[in-house]
Amino acid sequence: MIYDKLKKMAVVPVVEIEDSHQAVPVAEALINAGLPVIEITFRTDAALEAIKNIADQYPSFLIGAGTISSVQQVQEAVDAGATFIVTPGVNIPVLTYCRDMKIPVIPGVCTPSDIERLLGYDLPMLKFFPAEAAGGVAMLKALAGPYGAIQFMPTGGISPENLESYLSCGNVSVCGGSWIAAKGLIQKADFEEIQKLGEKAVAQVSSIRAKGQSYAA
Ligand SMILES: O=C(O)C(=O)C[C@H](O)[C@H](O)COP(=O)(O)O
């Protein structure tokens, strides 16, 4: 189950890839770091080819397609090998299609009204985006009152400095962020640094878990 795998990883590197040839080296850096998961954002023309390249080479690598805003993009991403879809906001055609086709989808929300629009879709996890700008941990704690059963994947403004505060929220399963495979590092082809940052994130998650924080491990 995708959601269980994401919970286990606790961190999803969000990437913007401009050259699809760099996708496999990025994936290898993440595999070496013990973090075989990625959300490739559909913000560049190379996104689709990047997904294909990783999926061909590493079939068990968990590949999400992010910034998805149309049904056509969902179809293309899934055909290329993406196993989950992430949207920045509430996109009803995308959600309906994913529900009908049984494609795991994590839609973005940042208000109670967004959440209410999605209640009928029976989604196990929602993306809280943009997390820091939309109220961060305080907002997640407030949302846990009326929407206690919903698990979130906060994304936007997450860093090693605030990761622990997010993962310590009872309604947070996993965090997304660009700090591990940052655009600048990919542009410089600094895969070593990406691996190091991945290793640091994995170590940080282990230490947070060892402290017995309240989120589900
Ligand atoms: O395009 C999307 O669908 C997104 O998820 C937006 C950003 O890529 C993430 O919010 C990462 O944000 P930072 O970690 O703050 O760089």
Spacing, Cα 39 to ligand 1 middle (Å): 10
Predicted local distance difference test score (pLDDT) of residue 5: 97
> Cα(178) to centroid of ligand 1, in Å?
6
Nearest CA to ligand 1 atom 7: 156
127 in catalytic set:
yes
**Per-residue pLDDT, 55:** 98
Closest of 2, 9, 16, 10 to residue 187, by C-alpha? 16
Residue 183: active-site member: no
pLDDT tier at 211 (50, 70, 90 boundaries)?
confident
Distance 12 CA to ligand 1 centre (A): 11
Distance 215 CA to ligand 1 centre (A): 22
> Using only C-alpha atoms, what is the Rg of the chain?
16
Report the nearest-CA residue for atom 12 of ligand 1. Answer: 156
What contacts 191, CB < 8 A, 6 or more positions away? 25, 26, 28, 29, 185
Active-site residue (options: 16, 39, 76, 132): 39
Minimal-distance CA residue to ligand 1 atom 2: 67
ipTM for this prediction:
0.94
- Ligand 1, atom 16, lies closest to the CA of 178
Whether 54 shows a pLDDT value over 70: the answer reads yes
Query: What confidence tens digit (pLDDT) does each residue in 4-35 have?
Result: 999 999 999 999 999 999 999 999 999 999 99
Mean pLDDT across the chain, nearest whole number? Answer: 96
Structure tokens that stand for 139 in this block: 């907002």
* Residues 111-150 pLDDT 10s: 999 999 999 998 999 999 999 999 999 999 999 999 999 9
Give pLDDT tens digits for 71-118.
Answer: 999 999 999 999 999 999 999 999 999 999 999 999 999 999 999 999
pLDDT value at residue 213: 52
Q: Which two tokens stand for residue 173?
A: 């399963």
Nearest atom, ligand 1, residue 88 CA: 3
Among 141, 108, 104, 138, CA closest to 5: 104
User: For 164-206, what is each residue's pLDDT tens digit?
Assistant: 999 999 999 999 999 999 999 999 999 999 999 999 999 999 9
Q: What is this structure's pTM?
A: 0.95
Looking at residue 1, its pLDDT comes to: 87
Atom of ligand 1 minimally distant from the CA of 66: 3
pLDDT of residue 217: 46
Residue 56 reports pLDDT greater than 70 = yes
* Tokens coding 122: 């029976």
Say whether 31 sits in a helix, a strand or coil. Answer: helix
**Counting beta carbons within 10 angstroms of the beta carbon of residue 64, is it exposed (0 to 12), middle (13 to 18) or buried (19 or more)?**
buried
Please report the domains of the chain, with CATH numbers, ordered by start residue: 2-209 (3.20.20.70)
